[in-house]
Amino acid sequence: MRNFGRVIEVLTAGMKFSSDKYNIEGKVPFDNDTLPNESEIKIWNLAETTINNIKRGKVLMLNAGYKGDVGLLLHGYISNVDTVWEGVDKITTIHVLDSEDLDKREVKEIAFAENTLASKIIKQMASYIGLPIAQFNLNQDYRYQDGYTAKGKVTEIIAKVAKDCGTSVYINKNKLYVRNLRSGGDNVFAVNTKTGLIGTPGRFEKDGAKGFNIKMQLQHRVTTASMLNLSYSRFTGKAHVRSGSHTFSRTGDFVTEVEAIL
């Protein structure tokens, strides 16, 4: 195994908490839909003045990895902060959404003309939620010959229009992605016992897709739509990440688990 020397860093409100000084653990989920994911981070024995500066609505970033190879796992907004005592330890639990709560972003009614392309609707709707578009690549730019009426939650409108184009749309690290999970210019990550594969991947078949449930040593580069070059005794080939999570701690689990489709 090449991975050693765990590193966890939490940054918010001009403060930085590192695992070399604090006990930190938590879990960061990711998937391929427009609903914001909520992560949980626990930090032990912070001063009261410090806790008072960790506030709802503030931006929080989380880096993790190994000495010499640390990267961003989470860039979002604090949704809740709670501190409890367990014996002599004071534990602060921070919940973080990977984007602002976008459910409140709605449009009353916007009528698009005949022959409007889906790309125009998606880009206009995306401007209303204020997220930068990291990737935009439709399988098919569907043309609404009879026009289109946008009404309701902006994220739901984007998801419906993207579905008409046969394309996934999701939020990741406070950015919007419109793309096919199986295509794009992603790096390919080799996953085998030498690079950190843990145990034997489990096969699945659901939602019209086949793939593997894979567990590996924590890899900050792996997230939604990452391409994996999986190799173990029963399979060698490429798989594309649909969802998963990073779990981290100083002495316990330090893993990335994914559901990857073929």
Question: How is residue 129 annotated by DSSP?
Answer: H
Domains of the chain with CATH codes: 103-179 (3.55.50.10)
Query: Token digits for 208?
Result: 């019209």
Alpha helices in the chain (DSSP H): 48-52, 118-129, 154-164
**C-alpha–C-alpha distance, residues 171 and 185, integer Å:** 18
**C-alpha–C-alpha distance, residues 50 and 46, integer Å:** 6
**C-alpha–C-alpha distance, residues 95 and 201, integer Å:** 30
**C-alpha–C-alpha distance, residues 98 and 117, integer Å:** 29
**C-alpha–C-alpha distance, residues 242 and 60, integer Å:** 24
Q: What is the mean pLDDT of residues 239-255?
A: 96
**C-alpha–C-alpha distance, residues 250 and 168, integer Å:** 35
Per residue in 160-173, pLDDT tens? Answer: 999 999 999 999 98
Select the more confidently predicted residue: 35 or 152.
Answer: 152
Per residue in 102-150, pLDDT tens? Answer: 666 899 999 999 999 999 999 999 998 888 999 999 999 999 999 999 9
Tell which residue, 162, 191, 190, has the closest CA to residue 178: 162
Q: Is the pLDDT of residue 207 over 90?
A: no
**C-alpha–C-alpha distance, residues 238 and 221, integer Å:** 16
Q: Is 14 helix (H, G, I), strand (E, B) or coil?
A: coil
Q: Is the pLDDT of residue 183 over 90?
A: no
- pTM for the whole structure: 0.90
Q: Are strands 235-248 and 227-232 parallel, antiparallel or unpaired?
A: antiparallel
**C-alpha–C-alpha distance, residues 64 and 17, integer Å:** 12
Query: What pLDDT shows up at residue 1?
Result: 44
Contact criterion met (CB below 8 Å) for 74 and 94: no
Contact criterion met (CB below 8 Å) for 63 and 70: yes
Per residue in 7-56, pLDDT tens? Answer: 999 999 999 999 999 999 999 999 999 888 999 999 999 999 999 999 99
